Amino acid sequence: MKGGGAALALLWLAPASLLLAGWAAHDSRTIECNPSPRISLSNLNGKVLVRGWDKPQVRVEYTVFSPRVEVDTELLPPTGPADKIRFTTHVLDPMVNGSEQAADYTLDVPMGASLEIRNPQGSVQFEKLQADAAVEAVGGRISASDFSGHLGARSVGGDIEIVRPSGRVEAYSITGNLHFVSSATAKLRASTTSGSILYEGDFLPGGDYTLSTYSGAMDIVSPPSASFELRAKTLRGKLENSLRFIPKRRSASPLYSGNSLLGTHNAGKATVELTSFSGSIRIRPQ
């Protein structure tokens, strides 16, 4: 009898827990704003997608996965077109954790917006956006495609991938990998401690590119027509190059040992600095 009772209870409880596991609430809102609003989003987990559009409006769609998670929207000024918009995910019950804390957001924002996004354990994705954006994650991945403006991306453990950026890009991670594709940015600074860096594409004339890893590998894959001055140095890593550089005279008394390469490729219009401690640096044609 006892076993039968337990089985009966399970029969009741299983569908209930399944229902709760699939719980989700969706909402959306359109907010009138000035043409270049400041938008901040503070989330804990989940996916954040931000896209640019030409309207002086912010449209937000979000989904939460627990009845004990809420999204708060704050507008400044409270009436009329907003100058500042803040979205904050609140977990109302400390017992809610893991994926239940998640909130997925999709934001459409005016081109020219200023964004500050924090999503520690979730991902952040920018698509076709012209903005100034600072994004911070801890374990989550950050990606951007066709982003113009200033993008600052930082993640402790998450990967960062930036495709066809233009404007200024700064990307930092500790253990995450960094990947840059078809960059049209004139200023790129990127570093990772144990992650790798892959740069695929040309360098803009007059551009300034500084890439650094500690122990991760760094790969630069550029077209044979790329025009840049190179300063590459690694203390303990290998330095492999298969592009044709005109070597430069070494700077006087460099205060480090290790491998280095100073040279000019084609007319040397861009400036590229690559540094690693023990990670290998490979430079090869596309």
Residue among 46 and 108 whose Cβ is closer to other proteins: 46
Nearest Cα to Cα of residue 157 among 187, 133, 186, 123 = 123
Nearest Cα to Cα of residue 40 among 149, 128, 139, 124 = 124
In whole angstroms, give the CA distance from residue 177 to residue 144.
14
Nearest Cα to Cα of residue 91 among 135, 45, 48 = 45
**Does 277 interact with other proteins (rule: CB under 8 A)?**
yes
Residue among 81 and 258 whose Cβ is closer to other proteins: 258
Residue among 154 and 265 whose Cβ is closer to other proteins: 154
**Does 114 interact with other proteins (rule: CB under 8 A)?**
no
Q: Pick from 217, 235, 241, 264: which binds other proteins (CB under 8 A)?
A: 235
Pairing of strands 47-53, 82-91: unpaired
User: Which residues within the stretch 120-179 sit at the binding site for other proteins (CB under 8 A)?
Assistant: 120-121, 134, 136, 138-139, 152, 154, 156-157, 170, 172, 174-175
Q: Using alpha carbons only, what angle is made at residue 222 by residues 186 and 272, rounded to the nearest 5 degrees?
A: 45
Residue among 145 and 278 whose Cβ is closer to other proteins: 278
Residues contacting other proteins: total by CB under 8 A: 40
Judged by CB under 8 A, the stretch of 60-68, 71-79, 94-102, 222-230 that binds other proteins is: 94-102
Binding mask 60-79 for other proteins (x = CB under 8 A): --------------------
In whole angstroms, give the CA distance from residue 150 to residue 136.
14
Phi, psi of 169 (to 5 degrees): -130, 135
Contact 173, 155 (CB under 8 A): yes
Q: Using alpha carbons only, what angle is made at residue 184 by residues 181 and 186, rounded to the nearest 5 degrees?
A: 120
User: Which residues within the stretch 199-218 sit at the binding site for other proteins (CB under 8 A)?
Assistant: 210, 212, 214-215
101: left (phi over 0), alpha (psi -120 to 50) or beta: alpha
Q: How far is the CB of 235 from other proteins (least distance, A)?
A: 5
Positions that interact with other proteins (CB under 8 A) = 97-98, 101, 116, 120-121, 134, 136, 138-139, 152, 154, 156-157, 170, 172, 174-175, 189, 191, 193-194, 210, 212, 214-215, 231, 233, 235, 251, 253-258, 273, 275, 277-278
